[in-house]
Amino acid sequence: MKYKIVAALSVVMFATAFSSQTAKAQTSTAWQPSSGHTQIPIWPKGAPGATPTSNPLAEADTTTTTDNLIAGKRLIRLGNVSNPTITLYQPTTKATGSAIVVFPGGAYHILAIDLEGTEVCDWLTSTGVACIILKYRVPDSGPYPKSSAALQDAQRAVGLVRSHAGEWHIDPHRIGVLGFSAGAHLAAALSTHYEQRLYDSVDAADSVSCRPDFAVIVYPGYLAIAEQNMAPNAEIHPTEKTPPSFIVQSEDDPVHVENSTVYFLALKNAKVPAELHIYADGGHGWGLRPTNQPVTHWPKLVDTWLHTIHVVEVSPAAQ
C-alpha cells in the first residue's frame, strides 16, 4: 500500500504497503464481515458533520490488478466509507474477558480491512481476546485536528464496546486498542484525547469512558513532524493518565521510525509504562502475514506484553 502522509508530516508514499488508487480496474463490492459476527452502525442517525448528497460514492474495495501484494497475497483497500461500523469477533478459545478494538491503516484514505483488520481478529480471538474492528470514515478523516471524523468514530466505538461489555462478556476495565500506520496514530490520538467527546452525545454509550485501558501501536505515522526535524506532534501529548502502550516498527520504514521513538520518549517522560521494539528491516505495512523477516513475528511479543500488564492472566502452565 502506498500511503500519502500529509499535513504536519512530509509527503511520503508508503511504497511497501498500499499502492496508488489510480490504477486501472477496481472491484465495486463493499466489504462485509463473514457470517456469525455482530456488526453495528456506530452512528444510528448518521455521522456527525456528514453532508447529505444525492450521489455519494459507493463504499468499495479499491484494489486493482496492478497493486502490490503483501506476503504474496492481495489485500482489500476499502474506500469511500461514510457509514462507520464496529464488528465483534468473539474468542474462538477460552475467553479471557479482554477485548481489543482494531483500527486498520490506510493513510486516512482507505482501510486495509483484511490485512490490518480481519486477520488481526483471527489472531486475537485464537488467544481468547475479543476483537472489534472499527470501520471508520475515509477518506480525509484525519489526522486530527485536520479532521476530527476518524477520532470521533474511535471515541464512539470504544464507548459502545464498553457499554456492551456485560452483553458481550467483556471486562470493561480491559478494553484496549490496536492500530496500524494511520490507525496507529488514531490509537495514540484516542489515548490522549478521551476526556471530552468531539461530538454531541448520542445515547448512553457516550456517558461511559472512551479511554483505552492499553494501546498497541504498529508502524505509526503522524507522531513526529518531518518538517520540524522529527519533533513530536504537539497534538499528541501523553500524560500520566495515558494508557500503557506497546510500540513496534522497522528502522527502515519509509514513514520514519522516529514516529515510534518520539512517541516512546513522550510516554516515558510522562511516566507511562511503555514497551518499544525496533527491527533492523521490514519496511512498512506487513500486518500479520509471516515472511522470513523477524519483524513479522511481532504478535508473539504482544502476547507476552499483554500478560506482563495483566490484561491476559498468565496460565498455570506458564507460572
pLDDT at res. 57 = 85
Query: Is pLDDT larger for residue 283 or for residue 1?
Result: 283
Query: For residue 255, how many C-alpha atoms fall within 13 Å in the half-sphere facing its CB?
Result: 36
Q: Across the strands, what pairs with 177? A: 101, 215
Peptide bond into 273 cis (omega under 30): no
- Tell the residue number behind the cell numbers 511503555, with chain if given: 274
Instruction: Report, in angstroms and rounded to the nearest whole number, the Rg of the chain calculated over CA atoms.
Output: 18
pLDDT at res. 288 = 95
pLDDT at res. 95 = 95
pLDDT at res. 23 = 36
- The grid coordinates of residue 196 equal 471530552
Going by their DSSP bridges, the two strands 175-180 and 99-103 should be labelled as parallel
* Percentage of the chain lying above the pLDDT 70 cut: 88
Domain-located, residue 14 = no
Going by their DSSP bridges, the two strands 175-180 and 224-225 should be labelled as unpaired
Q: What is the pLDDT of residues 114-165, one digit of tens each?
A: 999 999 999 999 999 999 999 999 999 999 999 999 999 999 999 999 999 9
Domain-located, residue 42 = yes
Q: What is the pLDDT of residues 4-16, one digit of tens each?
A: 333 333 333 333 3
Domain-located, residue 15 = no
Domain-located, residue 18 = no
- Tell the residue number behind the cell numbers 477496481, with chain if given: 26
* SS (HEC) of the chain: CCCECCCCCCCCECCCCCCCCCCCCCCCCCCCCCCCCEEEECCCCCCCCCCCCCCCCCCEECCCCCCCCECCECCCEEECECCCEEEEECCCCCCCCCEEEEECCCCCCCEECHHHHHHHHHHHHHCCCEEEEEECCECCCCCCCCCCHHHHHHHHHHHHHHHCCCCCCCCCCCEEEEEECHHHHHHHHHHHCCCCCCCCCCCHHHHCCCCCCCEEEECCCCCEEHHHCCEECCCCCCCCCCCCEEEEEECCCCCCCHHHHHHHHHHHHCCCCEEEEEECCCCCCCCCCCCCCHHHHHHHHHHHHHHHCCCCCCCHHHC
Domain-located, residue 213 = yes
Query: For residue 221, how many C-alpha atoms fall within 13 Å in the half-sphere facing its CB?
Result: 31
Contact 239, 195 (CB under 8 A): no
Structural domain count of the chain: 1
Q: What is the pLDDT of residues 220-253, one digit of tens each?
A: 999 999 889 999 999 999 999 999 999 999 999 9
* Percentage of the chain lying above the pLDDT 90 cut: 81
**Poorest-confidence range of 31-35, 96-100, 183-187?**
31-35
What CATH number does residue 171 fall under? 3.40.50.1820
Contact 312, 129 (CB under 8 A): yes
Domain-located, residue 138 = yes
pTM (predicted TM-score): 0.89
Domain-located, residue 26 = no
- The grid coordinates of residue 170 equal 467483556
Instruction: Give the other-Cβ count within 10 Å of 165's Cβ.
Output: 18
**Poorest-confidence range of 77-86, 149-158, 305-314?**
305-314
- The grid coordinates of residue 25 equal 480496474
Query: For residue 154, how many C-alpha atoms fall within 13 Å in the half-sphere facing its CB?
Result: 38
Asked if pLDDT for residue 60 goes beyond 50, the answer is: yes
- Quote the domain boundaries for residue 166: 38-318
Contact 54, 20 (CB under 8 A): no
Asked if pLDDT for residue 168 goes beyond 60, the answer is: yes
Q: What is the pLDDT of residues 21-46, one digit of tens each?
A: 333 334 345 788 988 899 999 999 99
Give the separation between CA 89 and CA 2, rounded to whole angstroms.
28
Domain-located, residue 157 = yes
**Which burial class, exposed, middle or buried, applies to 64 when counting CB atoms under 10 A from its CB (0-12, 13-18, 19+)?**
middle
